[in-house]
Amino acid sequence: MPYIDYQTMYAIQIRIITVIIAAMKYYIWTSGCQMNVADSRRVASALERLGYDPTRQAENADVIVLNTCVVRQSAENRALGRLSSLRPLKKQRPDLVINLMGCLVGVKDNPKIRKAFPYVDVFSAPSDLKPLIQYLMHSRRPPISDIETKADRIIAESDLTMPKNGKNRSVSAYVSVIHGCSFACTYCIIPYRRGVERSRPICEIEAEVRALAGQGIHEVTLLGQIVDRYGNDIPDGPNLSDLLRAIHPIDGIKRIRFLTSHPHWMTNELIETVAELPKVCEYVEVPIQAGDDDVLKRMKRGYTVDEYVRLICDLREYIPGVSIATDIIVGFPGETEKQFQRTYNLLADLRLDVVHLARYSPRPGTLAYRRMDDDIHESEKMRRFRAIEALQTQISKDIHASYIGRKVEVLVKGKRHDRWKGRTRTNKLVFFETPEDRLGELVSVKINWAGAWSLRGTPFLGMSGEP
Ligand code: SAH
């Protein structure tokens, strides 16, 4: 008998598993932050390694994964609604495998959820693929030996692989670089559900980005709940600048982004690194949450309005043309009309590019939930929300209008109807028409139309680049 090494044996066994379950289908529903999008990509790759094919209809799937978010009650309700809608399907087809994943489950054992949804087969914490993969391997006939090691392998390999994608090939990918969060803002449930901060080693991230680049990925967005704290949990560890420098030289990668930043950890070194490295885009997401010092203190955000304003000035000074996104919560407990007005006025002054707006939602377990009264009426929260929404729509329109007549560099990410769509380095959405296939390319586009949410233009042959 010829000698077969372990690697080959492993490949043959996986192939056998693949053949046995040929034509099995998976369906993934993803809600919430980009980290869940990144995790769903890993789940999809792992399932494809096991021989499953994607389907767009949950009813046709043999495995259904719900990757959930609970950051606000509305997100939790959506996840619960989706979960309940699967009950009849499971009754009809008992061998359907349902995997509940993400923040509805959390990192700690959650007996309440297990009891409430007995028809769920597998519960898994955010980013944890192992329970599903092991479950699927356990249920195989004939039985598979050494499941633990094989599951680890499949998971490690799926980190390095892009799954099949419907219409468009993927050009961009999210890569989580820190899991969890150790920074307890009083309103936020995420640290309770995602556990303490854990930075991934640079070499592992580098290998992942290199592998993705090899599969046609041209843009990576590095993710962390507080991405600028990258490395803080590793003694003498690297920081985000070191990480950016490590992945910058990777061939095939044309653009690098990172999010979300916390104002306190956006150091001068990081700002200089963004300014210096050509592939790192001039785009930052740095939430302020509120424009009033008292509210910020009660949110335990760890900075003042003045410090935030200084940071915005520094960003604009050192990174010319920088585009800035922020997050705002309106109706935090005790937020007075005056305090809300300060937030409104600050946004009117700063004229940031994007504002992600949320109405305060009390989250069980958080400090705000336990110690503060949710005393702003829902209709008042809505009024404040609408006021900032109207302000920001006008600001975005004005900023977009300033693009008219300019040439911008667009990374083409796909097609909508007969138009190509892509993003500028500053993350503005651009549509343009051309008969040629420009997917994955950097195209120079001259902008001739601007709305509140997107730009349109014509491709421009010649030198690309934003002014
Ligand atoms: N760790 C990141 C992202 C947190 S979740 C950060 O610190 O920015 C994304 C956004 O949801 C937050 O920035 C915040 O604006 C909003 N958010 C979090 N908890 C919330 C709550 N209880 N009610 C309303 N909005 C909330």
What is the block-wise mean pLDDT of the chain (467 residues), using blocks of 10 residues? 62 60 86 97 96 94 98 98 96 97 94 94 97 93 85 94 80 97 96 97 97 96 98 94 98 98 98 98 98 98 98 98 98 98 98 98 97 98 98 98 97 94 98 94 97 95 50
Question: Would you state the structure tokens that stand for residue 231, as one six-digit string?
Answer: 């490395």
- pTM, two decimals, is 0.93
Question: What's the confidence (pLDDT) of residue 164?
Answer: 84
Structural domain boundaries in the chain:
6-157, 171-277, 282-401, 407-459
pLDDT of residue 239: 98
Q: What is the pLDDT of residue 7?
A: 66
Mutual angle of helices 268-276 and 240-247, in 10-degree steps: 20
What atom in ligand 1 is closest to the CA of residue 285?
8
Ligand 1 contacts CB of residue 35 (under 6 A): no
**Is domain 282-401 annotated with CATH 3.30.2010.10?**
no
> CB of 190 closer than 6 A to ligand 1?
yes
Say if CB 22 and CB 60 are below 8 A apart: no
187 CA closest ligand 1 atom index = 22
Please give the C-alpha separations between residue 377 and each of 106, 330, 362, 386, 390, in angstroms, as whole numbers: 30, 11, 13, 14, 20
Mention every residue, 6+ apart, whose C-beta is less than 8 A from residue 24: 51, 52, 53, 62, 63
Q: Is the CB of 175 under 6 A from ligand 1?
A: no
Q: Is 330 in the pocket of ligand 1 (CB under 6 A)?
A: no
> Rg of the Cα trace of the chain?
23
pLDDT at 26: 97
Please indicate whether residue 289, judged by its CB atom, sits closer than 6 Å to ligand 1.
Answer: yes
The per-residue pLDDT for 465 is 45
SS3 of residue 434 by DSSP: coil
- Give the distance (Å) from ligand 1 centre to CA of residue 185: 9
- Mention the CATH class of domain 171-277: alpha beta
Task: State in words which class domain 407-459 has.
Answer: mainly beta
349 CB burial (10 A radius; 0-12, 13-18, 19+) = exposed
* 366-401 core/surface letters (b: 16 or more CB in 10 A; e: else): bbbbeebebebeeebbeebbeebeebbeebbeebbe
Domains 171-277 and 407-459 share a fold: no
Distances (CA, A) of 276 to 97, 103, 249, 264: 49, 36, 13, 21
Contact 41, 151 (CB under 8 A): no
Q: What is the pLDDT of residue 110?
A: 86
pLDDT at 12: 64
Which ligand 1 atom sits closest to the C-alpha of 189? 19
CATH tag for 6-157 (out of 3.40.50.20, 3.40.50.300, 3.40.50.12160, 3.40.50.2300): 3.40.50.12160
For position 169, what pLDDT does the model report? 86
Q: Is 226 in the pocket of ligand 1 (CB under 6 A)?
A: yes
Tell me what pLDDT residue 467 has. 41
Atom 3 in ligand 1: residue holding the nearest Cα: 225
Q: Which two tokens stand for residue 103?
A: 């923040």
